[in-house]
Structure formats: structure tokens, C-alpha cells
Structure 1
Amino acid sequence: MSNLTQKRILLGITGGIAAYKSIELIRLLTKAGAEVQVVLTEGAKAFVTEMTLQAISGNPVRSTLLDPNAEAGMGHIELAKWADLIVIAPASADFMARYTQGMANDLLSTLCIATESPVLIAPAMNQAMWRHPATQANSALLTQRGVLSIGPADGAQACGDIGPGRMSEPADIFTAITHHFQNTMLEQDLVGQHWVITAGPTMEAIDPVRYISNHSSGKMGYALAAAAIARGASVTLISGPVQITAPVGVNLVAVKSANDMLAACEHAMQSQADVFIGAAAVADFKMKMASNQKMKKQSNTDELQLTLVKNPDIIATLAQQKRAKIMVGFAAETQNVIEYAKSKLERKGLDIIIANDVSRSDIGFNQDENQVTVITANKVWEPAKATKSELASQLVHFIHEHSQPSR
């Protein structure tokens, strides 16, 4: 039985070309056993029709705040109480602004103000609108108030622009919804804790076109963030460039270089974090001086020499500064995995190190499964090979147990 069976989901659709994707989201939800009620804003009606949405959801579509038939029983209040979860997809910049201000001048905004149920938004707008300081402030304030969010995604937009602002795909929103209901059944033993997690690769510029990086997909770090959120932690995820969607509820900080990542970590951990997990694959070296212009091939030679210097050691720096109560590192090795990991644990002043053999083609970089060895000063634990999501849940549990005073 799906964990969405008989779940009552109110889907709000605001004005934007991404509204057409909501039809597929409704199909996925109803197929999984959820009951879906749809509420349209006036702007949304320009992109999708009530008849289509009613046919897909199996329920009448609502759009009017003062509907004489529904309001005979204070229908908008009953609808707000009915929902187990309110999902706004797409959530336009206008809707986010009005929601932030507590406005209730149409049915959808009224429902969001009147409900005591959780609300999940999937922002969708032009990349310039998303980047505008007002929208960013609104997004941050909604998150601070406990509103869940997913996306937006990065890519080509209907207007021709390229950048962040695309609504997350229906399948990703559906997954976020299922995870939300799964999380409500987990023990919330990390409530009140702040976890800072790094993920993905770093990019070190050679010139404006080329860079030094690695094969890290970010999947392990993102899975750890999702697992910590599921148990109630407040999570700041500091991520290098990746092609995956951030978990719902995470505070995502996007960076590129190792210096950017260190600065973001220090900012996130101005007040000591409870746990820091360095899951990112940080480039060990960077250009001594990156070129401001594209470097041209020289016709008189087949060689190119680059002068590289060491990047800052992020996790060692943070450990020395005592930025977190528990410091956890990763050791991605291709040989002598355990020996190198133990050396790194001691040398960098860590509490836990998680070692994995990235020379294996079935685990590690870009794979959906992983197998690791977890090492502390007095313990070695080898969980079985598992998906990165399953493994992340086990690792979060281990880290939490290790942090307890009895440990």
C-alpha cells in the first residue's frame, strides 16, 4: 500500500506556463491513492482549464473565494481543515510575495493562511525574477516560517532565458510529497539540531571556459541532508555544481570553488553547528592564477603547463576552529582505503570518518549505491552495501548515537 493512500492533498495552481505540468502531478498523486482537490488562481486559468483538472482529479475544481454554494458552510475554512498537505505548484513570484505578507485576497491565499496543515511550494518563474532580492527574501522568510519548498530547477525557460526558475518536474515533486509523509512517521530526535553538510564537486577555474573538477555527483551528500531533515534537523546543504534536486526543507547554498565552499561553511557555522559532514569531493589543487581570458593553443608546442597550488583543507580548518560539536569527514580512496582513512581521522582532528573505495565501478561516484567503512577512534563499522538513500539513514543514526553523552 502506498503511503499516499487516502492522503488528502490540496493542489494550488498559480499563473505560469509551468501550470501544465501540474496535470501530470495530479495523475501521479491519484494513481498512488491520494485524494486531490484543485484550487486555481485567476492567472492559472489562462494556462489550464477547470474541465481538464476536474477530469484528472475526479473532484470539482475551486477558484472563487466567495462561492455562494460552497460558502453556505464556510467552504474555504472546511477546505483548509480538510487537507493533510497543501501543495502550490507552480508557485509564482506574485503568490510567494502575497503569502509572505499574509494576504488573503483570493481562495488559494486564504486557504494557506487558514490552514494548520503543512504547505509545500514549488517556485516557478523567470530566472531574473527568482534571483531578485525581494523574491529571495520572500523565499527565505517562508522557509523560516516552516513552509516547505522544492526547487526551482535550473535550465532553459519558456521565455528563452537560461537559469534557475523552472518548476521542479512532477516526478520530483511527487517524490518530495511521499518523503514528507514518510518523514512524519519517523522519530523526530534531531529537532533543534543544526547540521551542516557539504556535497558535490568543486570547480576550480583555469580560465573563463575551462576548470578542474572531479566525478562527484553529490548524491551521497544530498541523501544525508534528506535523512537528517527526515528526523527533524535543520540542515544547511553547501553544494558544488550538481544535477540533482535539493531535498525539501533544506537551506541550500550553491557554491563553485573550494574557497567559496569554505567561506559558506564558516558563515553557516558562525554559531557552532551540532554536526558537520564533509561529503563534498573538494579539489585538492587550484590554479595559482587563473587566466582572465580564454587560454589559446600555441601553434609552436603540443604541451601546456599549469601551475597549481593547494586548496584550503576545509574540514581540517573547520575542525581546528571547533565549528561543530561533531566533525564527520569522507575519505574517497582507490587503495589502502582503511589505512588512509584512519590517518585522515587523526590528522584532521575528526570524530568520525566514512571511507569508501571509489575505484569500484559499482559504488561511489555517480552510482546510486554505496558501501562504506565507518571509523571512529575506537570503533570500525561496515554497513552492508545499500542505496545511498538507505545508507544515509543508517549513517545519520550512527552519527546521532555517537554524539550522545554516553558514547
Structure 2
Amino acid sequence: MRFLWLLFVAMLAAYSFSGEPTEGTEDITIAYKVLAVYPQSRRVLITCDIPEAPRPITYSLMASRGVLVAKRVVRDYKPATFNINITLKSSPDLLTYSCQAASDLGTYGPSSRLQMYLELWDKPVSQLQTDVTLYNGDSGPTANLSCLASSGSPPIIYRLVADDGHVRVQQRPLHGEPATFSIPLSQMSGWFQCEATNGISADSSAPILLPPAEAQPRLLTTLVLALIVFSCIFGEGYSNTHNTDQLHCVFNKNEDACRYGSAIGVLAFLASAFFLVVDALFSQISNATDRKYLVIGDLLFSALWTFLWFVGFCFLTNQWAATKAEDVLVGADSARAAITFSFFSIFSWGVLAFLAYQRYKAGVDAFIENYVDPTPDPNTAYASYPSSSVENYQQPPFTQNVETTEGYQPPPVY
């Protein structure tokens, strides 16, 4: 008796759920990938998918004004793919595609519209922007370099060009999304450029300096020498005679000599302390522009102070040679020490200027000599892009990545 009752309930439930198909509420996603580029046409792979709908399901690719382009029945849970050739038009209304679907439970769609027209494809690459973020990864200090062209026809290929002109890595991200290069600083450092090209034109970013994993230690000699010079002048650089209590500079009573020696000594000491802190924190500075300015600032300051120490040494030596012995009761040793360490400071800051120059010049010369602008010749024919993988689609914001279903023969040219 219980068995008959259960059978009756099952039959009633089956009857209550049967009836006419209804319109489904699931959303259909539409995506595309450019397979080949021609002067006035493109070979495009359009993908339609509705993951939650029961199978089998029939997908329809609709063109403008409700024209049916192709149909495909999918019995598994893979997306439907349509490999078509499109001729680009000047009006967006002439090339508008959408997907519709139907199953035993009802119809779905249409999807959001996918517009293709001539202006969309023939834009050169421009407004290339880059951003660098430094962090400590599992393999040590790592730099994430992000490149994005704000304008340009898809597909856009991004390349990371090293200072020797060779392409280290390249990516072809979704249209509108940046290419992100992760660079272990223990393996690669120096000057890099981000290059974007789409077969119509190419654009390159400004050179970006990626610091080495271990920052180059700064010489402490400059700081110590500067401390000695201005300490000698401040301590015993001024003296008086028996006839007066008025203090005067021991360097031939020339106040400018004492002021000059103490000024460049104090400024050199403060600058050395600043650049020591910069060297310690250089790998943590994520802004590429800031790092570039710091390297240039180090180079210019070191070169300038090399010259100023040379002028100071000559100036102090000249004034000390003209100083009368009876005018110097105390401070003679301090004056000689200031002159001596001013002389040593010339070479110390010269070494720093040379190291800073090497640091800045490490990849610039090679980059300028070896880098070739990849901008194609306007007379050159369009190159076809290889159809290697269809996992990453050029797609609008409302779509998602899908996989390719094999065995589909493309319909005729529309």
C-alpha cells in the first residue's frame, strides 16, 4: 500500500513540473578573441556560454537587426564557439553580435551586445602607463611591473625590454587589463622598458630602474672626512691676538675661507647621512620615478661636491700660505688638518660620483645602442596573429573566461 502511495506522489510531481518551456533567468556570457588581423577584416572566435543551464542546449549567434549567423548544439558543459570572418564597418550598428540559447526548460538571452566597427580596431597604441611595486616575496625582493595602454586597438601585446634591447618576457592580457610582470630582483635588475604593440603602431614607456636585491653600500669616508673638516674649523678655526679680543679666521684672517670650509663640510655631512638612509631603504621605494630622481640626485650631488672640495682645498691652501705665523697663536694644527682632509674629500666624493655614474649608466648606453623601435613600416602588410590558445579572450567587462570546444567548422564569411 505504501509503495502505491509513493508511486502516485511521484507521478503527480512529474505532471506538476511538466508543461510549456519558460524563459530562463540565467545570463549568457559572450566573449571574443582575435585570431588573425587583416587590413579591413578580422578572423574572430566568439564564445557563448551559460554554465548553469541544463544540457543539451542550442546556442544562436545573432548579428545586427536579428540576423542569424550560426547555430550550435552543445551537449556537454563546454561553451559554444563560433569562428567567423568579419568585415569591419564604419558604423557600430552594422557589426553588433549577441548570443541566444534554448534548452528543454526554456529560452535564454539575449546576451549583452558585442560591437565591432572600424574605429574600434584601427586605433594606434598610445598613453602607455607603467607602475612598479616592490615587495619581499618567497624568492626574495621582487618587483611587480604593470603596463597598460589606455588607448589602442586589440589585441595589444606587452613586452618587457631589458637594457640590452632583448625582450625578457611578453604578455597578451585581456583587452583593457594591464600586463603584470613579476621580476625577482636577485635575478634581474637594471633599466627596463615596457613596450606595447598592436600591429598598427607601438609605444614604449620611459626607462624604469629596478634596483638590485642588495643595495650598494655607500662609503662612510665622506661622512667622516666632512665631520673632521668642519669640526676643525669650528673648534680652532678662529683665534685672537694678544692685542685684541676679537676673533678672526686663522686662514689669513679671511672670514670667507672659514665660512666656505665649514659650509661645504656641514652640507657634505648632512648629505652623506641622507644618502646612507636612501641606500638602506632604496629597495623599499616602490615608485620608479622617485628611484630615478634619487639616483640622478646622488650623481649630481657627488659630482658637484667633488668640485667644491677641490675649490675648497685650493682656497684654504692659498690662504694658509699667505697667513703670517705671528697671527696664529692656536689652531695651526686644526687648519692643516682641515686642508689635508679637504684634499682627501676630493677623491672620496669623486669615487662616489663614479659609482653613482656607473649605477645610472649601467643600462642606459646599452639600451640606447641596442634598442630598436619596433614601430612597423606603414608600407608593411599586416601580420597575422597566431592562434595558439583561446583561454584568454578579449572580452567586455560583463564576460568571463571560457574554454574552446574543438571540432567546430567555421561558417561562411558574414
TM-score tier, shorter chain, comes to under 0.3
Q: Which structure has more strand as a fraction of its residues?
A: 2
> Structure 2 length as normaliser, TM-score?
0.22
Q: Which one has a bigger Cα radius of gyration?
A: 2
> Structure 1 length as normaliser, TM-score?
0.22
